[in-house]
Each structure stands twice: as structure tokens, then as C-alpha cells.
Amino acid sequence: MAIGFVLINVAPAHEHEVYNKLSKIPQIIELHPLFGEYDLIAKIEADDFEELGTIIVNKIRSITGVLDTKTLTGLTF
């Protein structure tokens, strides 16, 4: 299993819209608004790192209002 933490920058005035769309992605198991450099952080669980990348590119970065992402990967023990 692959775990990813995705830091997300959102265009001004799109925060709620992006949050609502992200909350509907089943692989996102946690989603939190942030203050500071990034607007949201999402925790993703996927079968492997290839699937993790596909979720980030096809399901997160494709959302209107998402400006940029930074992904931190982890392992489960």
C-alpha cells in the first residue's frame, strides 16, 4: 500500500469548491484546510505508487482551481 500526503494550492475564492470535489474522491481518506503556504492537505491511500500518481494527476490536479501540488510519500508498517 502507498500513502501520500498532498499539499494543495488553490486559486482565491475556489477553496470551498475544490474542498467539496476532493472530499468525493474515495482514495482521499483525510482532507484538512490549512493556513499558510498551502491551502489544503489530503492524505491518500492507494495500492501502489503508480496508482497514487494517477490519482494526483488525473483526479486532483485536474480540478478547476487547483494551482499547484506537492506530494510527500510514505510507507505503512
For the chain, which domains are there? 2-75 (3.30.70.920)
Lowest mean pLDDT across 1-5, 15-19, 53-57, 71-75? 71-75
Report the pLDDT value the prediction gives residue 76, as an integer from 0 to 100: 64
Q: What is the pLDDT of residues 27-76, one digit of tens each?
A: 999 999 999 999 999 999 999 999 999 999 999 999 999 999 999 997 66
Encode 27-73 in three state secondary structure. Answer: CEEEEEECCCCCCEEEEEEECCHHHHHHHHHHHHCCCCCEEEEEEEE
